[in-house]
Structure formats: structure tokens, C-alpha cells
Amino acid sequence: MTKVTTADEFVLQVRGLGVRYQTSQGTVHAVSDVSFEVRKNEVFGIAGESGCGKSTLIRALLRLLPDNADSAAELALYRDQDLYGLSDADFRQNILWQEISLVPQSAMNSLNPVYRVGDQVVEAIRTHRRVSKAEARGRVAELFDVVGLQADLMQSFPHEFSGGMRQRAMIAMSLALDPGLIIMDEPTTGLDVLVQERILRRIREIRSEISSSIILITHDIAVIAEMSDRIAIMYGGQFMEQANAIDLFENPYHPYTLGLKNAFPSIRELGSELISIPGSPPTLVGPVTNCPFQPRCPFHLDRCASENPLPINFGEDHQVRCFRSEDANQLRHLAAEKSTWRSLN
Amino acid sequence: MLDYTLRRLVYTLITMFAVASILFVLFRMLPGEPTMQVISPAMDAAVQERMKEAFGLNEPLWKQYFIYLKNLVTLEWGRSFVSAQEVTDILSYRFWNTLLLMAAGMCLTLVLGIGLGIVMAWRRNSALDIGGTVVGLVFQATPPFITGLLLLIVLSYRLGIFPTGGMYPPGQRPDGLFDLLMMPAFWERIVLPTITVGAYYISTPMLIMRDSMLEVLGSDFIELAKAKGLKPRVVMLRHAARNALLGVVTISGIMIGFAVGGQVVVESLFSWPGMGQLMVESAASHDYPVAQGTFLMLAMLVISLNFFTDILYCYLDPRIKITAAGMN
């Protein structure tokens, strides 16, 4: 880090986080050597294909991993608390929801069908705060107003809500205790485009009113580009590249980022052809001994197959894991050609 | 909710009517004239005729059917051919005895079964989970008359811990239900039949609860409940078990129906003066009015229990109301 930063500028600091699953096929290294910081009031976006380890990463942070998984980190600080050092009871009572809340991937199924929506938010509040039911209900009415739901909808059951309404209710719930960090896991996946747009607009409006930082996880490059201050591109359980949002899209270094950019339509370059990256993501079984993107990378070198590159810093706030990051200018040029990606097959 | 309840009530009444009608036909199809028991063929033809008239047996069948239905509703269920007591009097005494034993057996089955199912799913693949499944299945595979006999042989005849049968000591007939419930001898006697019933049926709610718990535990709302920072016990009971209960309620209604039928064996084995035993006795002695009354009463019991199960289910799962309203 060239820039001098003080610790209290960060809400979350993670260094060298890894998660392994023991499966019948062997040990799966779902997340390996992930390091990042989330600063105050910022939206930190994590983008990647399905199965790249984004959901595992946040489950590790929230201690929601299944029994066959174990995770460790050199450093995992929320403000000044060591997330891995706390007892389960401490973590549950003082970190979960109170400090780090979650907008889950499937809002459709994340509300318990047999309880009223309002009561489920009340439950979140009363688990951590000693307030009366009436006070908690008052807070829920406030929150519903913030996300654009009428207060009397508190009395409804989840099946009476549309997908968009449930997502709003989930966002209301995540705001309930003014947490320092809200993790939004694919908050708009599964909603139709119009509802998606309205939810995103609402999240942006809320952002200006609250002081929470947000980790936004999605496979949708367009959403992440629109919402985030800083972005990490995840592949095969690693952060391939991370930078502030503008820098990442203007000066991408990693071949995977270049490929992702090609695969999504851009408003600025209307009419440009979409190019997909051939191949499929790695299975992550066994120890990581190569660059996970190497089999799909049109620019790979011989050493990419036997060595995993370490992150290299470019400028103040731009990190890349690639042996060819010095050749970025040349790669950017080549990556725009469709034939580059086809030659792999 | 009210709408749904009313609809269920109408269905229930229709079912009861159908059962009553089937019983009417069945009892007239039974081998041997029902009147043989009371009207001796040795009697004078004119006397036979007069007696048939007194019983209404000279009327055409359709008229008898309507008289039968009217008598059912007005609780004129006739008199026993054997003891000449009113059938309703006999039944009202026997009914409570059966209900007591069933309630004890089903409480044991449901409370223990559901509780064990919850913990087994929560600690999947633990010794309790595997042991519970095996023991439950062994009990289920053992007919109640075997379990009951084994219990009687070991705990009554060999060790003498429990009395061998009956509901109270001979010659100490209690005055009414309250008096009965205050007798320690009654509680001593209800233990073995309760265990027999419980052992046979426990695997049903236990394994169903375990399965639906496992299914519910994989749901997204369980993960969210954990993320909310709820204590594991709260997640297990308030979120997982509460939802998993839905499957058990459905099965319980059916299971209790079977258990009513199973009462016949258990009551006979433990000389429990309930309706199951009465059914066997009255059928053996060709006491048609009593047999008919017993069948009817047991059928009504099962149908009513199913009705209450439906209502309970509706109360437990708010989504049902929408479905019911959508049917209009």
C-alpha cells in the first residue's frame, strides 16, 4: 500500500482468507488467499461467475459455512474486532445483524412462510435490542417507509408479497439495527428488469441516507459497475483483480476482466459484438498450483500452468494477479478481437 | 378461515352420513337374521309378527333406513340384545375409557416422537439419530400384541411391577371420570397399554418430523435466521420445527385413525373396558345394536379427528387460507 491509511478508515479488513470443503471428491479450495478492505460508506462490489466462491466467501465472514467446510484468515477485522477470535455466542450476539447484516441471494425464500413479514423484522430487532414489541413495530414501520413499502403490509404473510416486495422487506430488515456493514448477495437476481432497476435505485437512495458500508455481490457486471465504488473480480476462489470502479473498467489488466468486459453489452460502444470466454470455471479440487484462469486464458505463458501468480500493485489502489500484467496495453488490444478468444478451442 | 372451517364441517357431516349409510347396509347383509337372537323361531307365529312390528322390522327397507337415520340423530340407538341396557349408556362409559387410553398413547407418541425427530434432524448422523431410526423401525415392525405380551411377561408376571390388566382393581368401580383419574391403581394400569401403543406408532411422527426437519433446515430462511444472530435453539424450534410440524400434522390425523382401529387389539390384550374390547365382545355375542353403535362411534371419532387435523393445519400454515378462498 503506497497510500497511508489509518485503521479506523476501514470497516472490514481481510487478509489471506481461505475456505476449504471436504467432499467425497477431495478437498475443494473454494476460496483461497483473498485479501480486501471495505472502507467507510463505500460500496465494495464482488463480481464473478456462479461457482467462483463469492457466496462461500460471505458465508465464511458470517460463520454460516456447513460442517464440512473450514475457513481461516491471516487477518479478519471488523473495525477493531477479530472476527475469527470471537466465541460463537459473542459473534452471534454482537456481530451478526447488529454490525454485519445480510440481504440474501433468494429473497423469495428467505422469509419464513408461517410468520408475518413485520414480525420477522421485529424478531431481528428484539434479538439484539431490549425494546418492547410496540417500539420494534414502530421501527419496522419506519424501515418499511424507507424501502417504499406501506406500513400496513407488516401484517402480511410472505406469500402475499411479490418478489420485489419481498426484496424490499429484506432490505428493510438488513437496515434494522443500523449495521456498519450490509452484505448484499445478488440482491436483484431473479427479479424482472424493471423491478431490478427500482430496487437498485432504492438502494442508491438509501445509501445516501445511511452510514453503512455495503458489500455487493453479483454476477452482473452492469449492476456492479453502476453501484460500486471499488470492485473485485473473483475467479476460481481468488480475487483476480481489484481496483476502484472507474480504474477497473478503464484500465483493466487481467485477461479475465478483459474477457468479462467483452461479454457484456456496453452503452458507450453500442453495436460492438459480444464475445464470450470459451470453457468453464475450474472445479477447485486439490491444492491451487496454477493460475485458475490459465486453461481458459488466451494469453497464458508456460509458467501459468505450474505457478499461481501473487497479487501485484498498480498505482494506489489497483491489484492484479497475473504474470502478464506488464503487457496490459498489448493484451487490451488483443482482447477486443473475437479471434483471440476463439483460438482457444 | 371461517369459510374454510364451514366447508370442512360440511364435508365432515357428509362423510359421517355416508359411513352411517354403509353401516346400515352392512348390518343387514350380515349372515343370519339379526332378529334371531331375540325372536326365537320357537315362538308362536303371531307373537313373532307382533315382536317384529315392535322393532319396526315389518316395514319396507327404505322406511327402516329413514327410521334408522332419525334414531341416530335423536340418539335412540336401541338396547343391547344381551344386557338390555341402552346402547348409548354402554357407549358413553366405554367411549371415555377408550379416549383416555388413546389420548395417553397418542400424547406419548406425538410428544416423544416429534421431540426426538427434531433433535435427530438437528444432530444428523449422531448416535441418537442412527439409534433412534433403528429402534423406531424395530418397534414399528413388531405388532402391538407381541410388544404388549412381552411387556406383560417381563414387567407384570416376572417382575410384578405393573398389574396385568383392567382399568381398576376388581370390585372398586369408580364413580365417574374424576374419581377414576384420582385412583393410583388406574395410573398403574394405563402404563403398559400406553407404552404398547406408543412403541408401535412412535416411528411415524418421529421419522416424518426428522425428514421434514432436514428438508426445512436446508431452506434459505433457516440460513437467514442464523444470519440474524438467533440462538441455535431458537432457529431449531421457532423456525425449523415450527415449519416441519406441518407434515407431521397431516400424517398424525391418518395415524390416529389407524390407532383407533388398533385399540381393538390393545384393549383385548390388557382387558381394557373400552370400545375396542366392546366391539369384539358384541360381535362375538351377535349383539347387533351394540356392535352397530360401537362401529358408528369409532367411525365418528376418526372422522372428527380428521376434521380437527384439517383445522389445525390451516391454523399452522397461513398459505392454506388463500387456497381455500381461491376455491370460491
The pLDDT-based confidence of B138 (bands split at 50, 70, 90) is very high
Q: Does A189 touch chain B (CB under 8 A)?
A: no
Q: Please give the pLDDT value at position A58.
A: 92
Q: B227 CA to chain A: closest CA distance, Å?
A: 6
Give the Cα separation of B313 and A46 in Å (integer): 43
Q: Is the dihedral of CA B249, B253, B254, B255 positive or negative?
A: positive
Q: A251 in helix, strand or coil? A: coil
Query: Of the ranges A45-54, A117-126, A141-150, B308-317, which one carries the lowest mean pLDDT score?
Result: B308-317
Instruction: Determine, for residues B229 and A114 on separate chains, whether the beta-carbon distance falls below 8 Å.
Output: no
Give the Cα separation of A209 and B11 in Å (integer): 56
Instruction: Determine, for residues B243 and A101 on separate chains, whether the beta-carbon distance falls below 8 Å.
Output: no
| Phi, psi (rounded to 5 degrees) for B165 | 175, -170
Instruction: Determine, for residues B221 and A96 on separate chains, whether the beta-carbon distance falls below 8 Å.
Output: no
Q: Does the structure show a pLDDT above 90 at B318? A: no
Cβ contacts (< 8 Å) between B318 and chain A: which residues?
113-114, 157, 159
Give the Cα separation of B130 and B124 in Å (integer): 8
Q: Does the structure show a pLDDT above 80 at A333? A: yes
What is the rounded average pLDDT of the residues A308-320? 90
Q: What is the pLDDT of residues B166-205, one digit of tens each?
A: 888 887 777 777 888 888 888 889 999 999 999 999 999 9
Q: What is the pLDDT of residues A150-209, one digit of tens each?
A: 999 999 999 999 988 999 999 999 999 999 999 999 888 777 888 888 888 888 888 888
Give the Cα separation of A55 and B12 in Å (integer): 50
* Domains along the sequence of chain B with CATH: 2-74 (no CATH), 88-327 (1.10.3720.10)
What is the count of residue pairs from A and B with beta carbons less than 8 Å apart?
66
Give the Cα separation of B310 and A309 in Å (integer): 63
Question: Considering only alpha carbons, which residue of chain A is nearest residue B319?
Answer: A159
Instruction: Determine, for residues A104 and B242 on separate chains, whether the beta-carbon distance falls below 8 Å.
Output: no
Best of A64, A67, A112 to substitute, by most chain B Cβ atoms within 10 angstroms, is A112
Instruction: Determine, for residues B318 and A127 on separate chains, whether the beta-carbon distance falls below 8 Å.
Output: no
Q: Please give the pLDDT value at position B38.
A: 65
Q: Please give the pLDDT value at position A20.
A: 93
Instruction: Determine, for residues B229 and A97 on separate chains, whether the beta-carbon distance falls below 8 Å.
Output: yes
Q: What is the ipTM of this complex?
A: 0.88
Q: For residue B60, how many other CB atoms are within 10 A of its CB? A: 7
Best of B124, B223, B228 to substitute, by most chain A Cβ atoms within 10 angstroms, is B228
B42 vs B131 pLDDT, higher one: B131
Cβ contacts (< 8 Å) between B219 and chain A: which residues?
109
What is the rounded average pLDDT of the residues B95-105? 90
Q: Angle between the B319-326 and B288-316 helix axes, to the nearest 10 degrees?
A: 110
A174 vs B31 pLDDT, higher one: A174
Q: Does A114 touch chain B (CB under 8 A)?
A: yes
Q: Please give the pLDDT value at position B327.
A: 40
Give the Cα separation of B131 and A164 in Å (integer): 46
Instruction: Tell me the HSE value of B194 on the side-chain side, using a 13 A CA sphere.
Output: 21
Q: Please give the pLDDT value at position A325.
A: 85
Mean pLDDT, chain B, whole residue set: 86
Q: Please give the pLDDT value at position A170.
A: 93
Query: Of the ranges A210-214, B34-38, B222-226, B251-255, which one carries the lowest mean pLDDT score?
Result: B34-38
Q: Please give the pLDDT value at position A117.
A: 95
Instruction: Determine, for residues A127 and B228 on separate chains, whether the beta-carbon distance falls below 8 Å.
Output: yes
Grid cell at residue A26: 477431495
What is the rounded average pLDDT of the residues A257-277? 74
Rg (CA), chain A: 21
Cβ contacts (< 8 Å) between B239 and chain A: which residues?
112
pTM over 0.95: no
Cβ contacts (< 8 Å) between A123 and chain B: which residues?
228, 230
Cβ contacts (< 8 Å) between A175 and chain B: which residues?
none
Q: B152 CA to chain A: closest CA distance, Å?
A: 45
Cβ contacts (< 8 Å) between A155 and chain B: which residues?
none
Give the Cα separation of B250 and A298 in Å (integer): 59
Q: A111 CA to chain B: closest CA distance, Å?
A: 5
Give the Cα separation of A67 and A59 in Å (integer): 12
Give the Cα separation of B168 and B100 in Å (integer): 13
Q: What is the pLDDT of residues B63-93, one digit of tens each?
A: 888 888 888 888 888 888 788 888 888 888 8
Q: B276 CA to chain A: closest CA distance, Å?
A: 39
